[in-house]
A = this chain, B = another copy of it.
């Protein structure tokens, strides 16, 4: 449970901590970043927003380019930036592609060898990492108020973790989420590799479009998708499938904003991160 502090960086009146710990679920040392807003240093426990990153990213990219700290500093919300996969497990082939293995954990617990040894990002993000953070920062962070968001593969992670765990998170939002992975090349490759080709029931358990069909009540999700996003244009994201499934299931509160010309990059997150922090704040402080 011990956490190593690698750097403490002043940012928007608070501190961005670069941290690492030895994780059991992923069987390796994991880096993560935690932003503590100024309010956390004023004897006040703050709620937590978990931001899940996309393919190829580490804990660093969004903390440098996403500007969540700007909004989080104003609202008084801590932001947790986990890594996107285990690293250095020395599994044959794990470094061969940008969209599978290292940097591409897809927020599932792999069942297929050899990836079942450590590629357990679902358990890591839902259980081990927050437990570690809540214990290490028990005076700063209120473990009872947590929201989740993410980008691309991390948007898939945010939606599926929220939908699989009613009550665990106060709210969810996403940028350019992979919304129907069982029907897009990225998702099919990942699920085949982590679950096996024939395990279709398992695939559905981690598909937001399948999961939303069973959701009860309003979802109150904010999703931003750029119309200039090449991966959206290529059919990797499929937010329309998610919207259709939600609508047919009578799930309300699905706010998908198609942002004209915006692309798949951090410039999009930077532009709209304030809105997503505001969305989370509405439920974290209600």
Residues of the B chain whose Cβ atoms lie less than 8 Å from the Cβ of A265 = 9
A259 and B13 alpha carbons, distance in the complex (Å): 10
A89 and B70 alpha carbons, distance in the complex (Å): 40
Apart from A9-B267, A11-B267, list 8 A-B contacts with CB within 8 A.
A9-B263, A10-B226, A10-B262, A10-B267, A10-B268, A11-B271, A16-B267, A69-B270
Please give the distance in Å from A7's CB to the nearest CB on chain B. Answer: 9
Q: Does A12 sit at the interface, judged by CB under 8 A? A: yes
Mark interface residues in A185-226 (1 if CB within 8 Å of B CB, else 0): 000000000000000000000000000000000000000001
Q: Does A65 sit at the interface, judged by CB under 8 A? A: yes
Within 8 A of B (CB), among A65-106: 65, 67, 69-70
Within 8 A of B (CB), among A17-71: 64-65, 67, 69-70
A12 and B273 alpha carbons, distance in the complex (Å): 11
Q: Does A228 sit at the interface, judged by CB under 8 A? A: yes
Q: Does A266 sit at the interface, judged by CB under 8 A? A: yes
Residues of the B chain whose Cβ atoms lie less than 8 Å from the Cβ of A267 = 9-11, 16, 64
A232 and B157 alpha carbons, distance in the complex (Å): 42
Q: Is the interface of A mostly helix, strand, loop or mixed?
A: mixed
Which residue in chain B gives the minimum CB-CB distance to A15? B261
Which residue in chain B gives the minimum CB-CB distance to A261? B10
**Does B263 contact A10, Cβ atoms closer than 8 Å?**
yes
Which residue in chain B gives the minimum CB-CB distance to A272? B12
A268 and B266 alpha carbons, distance in the complex (Å): 18
A15 and B271 alpha carbons, distance in the complex (Å): 11
Residues of the B chain whose Cβ atoms lie less than 8 Å from the Cβ of A16 = 267
Residues of the B chain whose Cβ atoms lie less than 8 Å from the Cβ of A268 = 10
Please give the distance in Å from A19's CB to the nearest CB on chain B. Answer: 16
24 contacts between A and B (CB under 8 A): A9-B263, A9-B265, A10-B226, A10-B228, A10-B260, A10-B262, A10-B263, A10-B267, A11-B270, A11-B271, A12-B270, A13-B271, A15-B261, A16-B267, A64-B65, A64-B266, A64-B267, A65-B65, A67-B67, A67-B70, A67-B270, A69-B270, A70-B70, A70-B270
A101 and B215 alpha carbons, distance in the complex (Å): 60
Which 6 A-B pairs rank lowest in CB-CB distance, beginning with the nearest?
A: A10-B261, A10-B262, A11-B267, A12-B271, A9-B267, A64-B65
A267 and B228 alpha carbons, distance in the complex (Å): 28
Query: Which of A10, A69, A261 has the most chain B CB atoms inside 10 A of its CB?
Result: A10
Residues of the B chain whose Cβ atoms lie less than 8 Å from the Cβ of A259 = 10
